[in-house]
Structure 1
Amino acid sequence: MRVILSGGGTGGHIYPAISIANKIKEKHPNAEILFIGTEKGMESDIVPKAGYSIKFVTVSYLKRKISLHNIKSAGMLFKGILEARKIIKDFRPDIVIGTGGFVCGPVVYMASKLGIKTIIHEQNVFPGLTNRILDKYVDKIALSFREAEKYFKSKNKLVVTGNPIRGEFFNVTEEEAKKKYGIKSNLPNVLVVGGSGGALKINNAVVEMLKLYKPKNFNVILVTGKRLYKNTIENINKEDLANNHEILPYINDMPYALKACDLIVCSAGAITIAEVTAVGKSAILIPKAHTAENHQEYNANAMGSKGAAVVIREDELSGEVLNRQIEKILNNKDTLKSMEAASRKEGITDAADRIYKEIESLLKNINH
């Protein structure tokens, strides 16, 4: 089996592609896999570290308004299509899989024009521009959220697979997680994390909450993000932290952290939501404003409407609001259990297998 995967720009597009590649390798150890991305995107660093080869094409994002940037981007897009065509013809893949981001546009488009089987995977409720354009060209569209169905025209191509995440999230018990973190207290644990890069407004709200309310009936673990750690730690006194609160720049073992905690306060990126629901935890979702087409708010509202999360908009966020919502959830065991049950119901633990099944289905008539 020969496979090209393309997706990039941010981790939200890259990590699902790597999870899909890992599943293909698990099923077909001799499979030949090639990633296509851009040199400036995070994929240029992440993909080689994951053990996969990557080639680069020229592409740039498009702005919503007519501009000189868009004229240049159109020229780069044409160049990217020609570069993608050469890579695809040289590699001769059986299938091409796109996981979003502008780079997968020319790659998946050219593959479809060359008669190669194609799948795109959409991580968010509100699809990205690239995937909406590719709708009519691809053979199959894999969705993380059922709510995304209404934004695609080719209804017969849609399948809900979920968002593939690392296998470690399914292999850790709560007891193991609490032991790893040295948690002996019977107090509820609240994990606060603003995505891989952190979230300044979430960090500031937690600091304000710790200063004003000095909560003693729950433990707080705040993961600031590396670039925001120094600023956050300088804004708080040791006495405000007390013994039951901790501020960290980064967590390498997120599966353990999520399992060890009772409530997750986080942004509403697709991977974060997939991880939280995979372990069946209740959440307070704070969608980051000014993301592409406000996609995080769509994700958060989908979870909120099903009772799996409480949603707080960034412009409504404060230490007082956060403290009130945390206490409201933790002080009512029925509410907490209901949210956890709703979260588990939304969690799709076999997303990579579901996507692989679609790959197999498309390739069933091809001799490998």
Structure 2
Amino acid sequence: MRYLFAGGGTGGHIYPALSIAQALLEMDPSAEIVFVGSKRGLEKRIVPRHGFELKCLDIQAFQRKLSLDTLITLYKASMAVLSANKIITEFRPDVVIGTGGYVSGPPVFAAQLRKIPTVLQEQNALPGATTRILAKRADLVCVGYAVAKERLAAQVRRPDKVKDLGNPIRLNIMQTTRDEGYRILRLDPGKFTILVFGASQGSRAINKTMLALWPRLVGLTDWQVLWQTGENQYDLIRAELPPEFTEVEPQVIQYRNLQVRSYIHQMSAALAVSDLVIARAGAISLAEITAKGIPSILIPLPTAAENHQEHNARALERIGAAKVILEKDLHAESLWSQLINLINDEQQRQAMAEASRAVGKPLAATEIAQEIMRLAVKGRSGTH
């Protein structure tokens, strides 16, 4: 079977595709897989590193206001459909899978015009524009949130083709044990652990708040804090911290129970030891947090497209798995108030953990891959 994946721009669209692709290969080692991305997205660096072939389209994101740049974008999008059609002709995929981002549009649309089975994987609680446009003709739409299923079911001819299978996560997230996590990150097994991170580049708002809170955090006797600043902000944060914070290894400083890292390369280890997470509300981060059943305090990125991070965060808040602080309300006192309340209330933390675990779907990648394989077999047999 041959599978064509289209998606990219950000890690939130790339990593789900990689997780599904790896699940397909586990089930069918003879499967042929090609990725289509943009010349400007992170996929140009990430996809080849995972051993997959990447073909790039010259396309850019749509602007939300009419301008000359919008006209250029429309022209590039139409040319990208032609380029995607050529890739499809050469590769002859059995199924085309779109995981979101503007680059997923042309390949999925080209496949739909040719009656090739298409699958969409929507990560966010509020479906993105690309998903909403392509869902009507898609053969299968896999969503990460039940509320997304409700929103899309009203827009498609067959609501049964929209399935809430969860968001695919990295395979090693569920494999790393707590003991391994403590050893890898050099943390104290005798303490509860708070994990703090923004996106891969870090969050200025979260980092600024953490700088104001560190004197209180180091006073927590039964807790330790693992704080990822983001590689671009590590030096700035380090310069703001007192000399008591010493470098214990490159790009890692520590003082008492507070460990600061520029980037956590072993996120599976960090999640394995975490009892509470403070983070943004990207869909894949939340999928990993809930797969591990961890309670969280979420600070949605206000500039995310269509405010989708707040929709993601509110979906977890509604079921009791998370607390939400909007960035406009984020400061040392608001975060400390939520944090100390959870630290002092083990029963509430446990209830949030159970709610988080109940909505988590650690097998999402495998289940989505199974649906894709069924569609591919059905298409080849001519019963599609």
**Normalising to structure 2: TM-score of the pair?**
0.92
- Identify the residue that residue 199 of structure 2 maps to in structure 1: 195
Q: Residues 30-68 of structure 1, C-alpha deviation per residue, up to 9 Å, x if partnerless?
A: 111111111111111111001000111122211222221
Would you say the 8 A contact 1:188–1:330 is kept in 2? no
Partner of 2:46: 46
Alpha carbons of structure 1 residues 255 and 185: separation in structure 2 relative to 1, 3 Å: closer
Partner amino acid for 2:52?
A: Y
Does the 8 Å CA contact 2:24/2:366 hold for their aligned counterparts?
no
Are 1:138 and 2:167 an aligned pair?
A: no
State how far apart, in whole Å, the 1-side matches of 2:311 and 2:44 are. 29
Q: 1:158 aligns with which of 152, 157, 162?
A: 162
| 2:85 maps to 1:85 | yes
How far apart are residue 262 of structure 1 and its match?
Answer: 1.2
Corresponding residue for residue 249 of structure 2:
none
The structure 2 residue matched to 1:362, chosen from 375, 380, 383, is 375
2:188 to 176, 184, 188: 184
**Counterpart secondary structure, 2:35:** strand
Residues 251-270 of structure 1: pairs in structure 2 closer than 5 A: 251-270=264-283
Equivalent position SS for 1:227: coil
1:334 corresponds, among 347, 355, 359, to 347
Q: Deviations over 1:57-114 (max 9, x none)?
A: 1222112222211111111111001111111011111110000000110100000111
SS of the counterpart of 1:250?
Answer: coil
Alignment gaps of 5+ in structure 2: 246-253
**Aligned-partner SS, 2:163:** strand
Cα deviation for residue 246 of structure 1 reads 1.3
What residue number does 2:212 align with?
208
**How much has 1:189 moved relative to structure 2?**
1.5
- Return closer, same or farther for 1:213/1:47 CA change in 2, 3 Å cut-off: closer
Structure 1: 4+ residue segments shifted above 2 A? 178-188, 211-218, 238-242, 363-368
Match of 2:231 in 1: 226
**Which whole-Å CA distance do the structure 2 matches of 1:242 and 1:45 have between them?**
35
Displacement of 1:197: 1.2
Q: Which AA in structure 2 matches 1:344?
A: R
What is the identity percentage for the equivalent residue pairs of Structure 1 and Structure 2? 38
Partners of 1:49 and 1:179 in 2: CA distance: 27
Structure 2 distance, partners of 1:223, 1:366, is: 45
CA RMSD of superposed structures (Å): 1.5
TM-score (norm. length: structure 1): 0.96
Q: In structure 1, how many angstroms separate the alpha carbons of the residues matched to 2:83 and 2:139?
A: 22
Structure 1 distance, partners of 2:369, 2:240, is 47
1:18-97 to 2 correspondences below 5 Å:
18-97=18-97
**Cα distance in 2 between the residues matched to 1:95 and 1:365:** 10
SS in 2 for 1:275: helix
**Structure 1, unaligned stretches of length 5 or more?**
none
Instruction: Describe the SS at the equivalent of 1:87.
Output: helix
Task: Name the counterpart of 2:251.
Answer: none
Q: Distance in 1 between matches of 2:277 and 2:342?
A: 11
8 Å CA contact 1:277, 1:344 repeated in 2: yes
Q: Residues 213 and 46 of structure 1: is their aligned pair in 2 closer, same or farther, counting only changes over 3 Å?
A: closer
The one-letter code matched in structure 2 to 1:19 is S
Equivalent runs, 1:276-291 vs 2, <5 Å? 276-291=289-304
Q: Are residue 315 (structure 1) and residue 319 (structure 2) matched?
A: no
Q: How many residues align?
A: 368
**CA shift at 1:340, angstroms?**
0.7
Q: Distance in 2 between matches of 1:242 and 1:167?
A: 32
CA distance in 1, matches of 2:212, 2:291: 30
Deviations 1:218-241 (Å, cap 9, x if unpaired)? Answer: 322110000011111111214487
Alpha-carbon displacement from aligned partner over 1:106-133 (angstroms, at most 9, x marks no partner): 1000001111000000000011111111
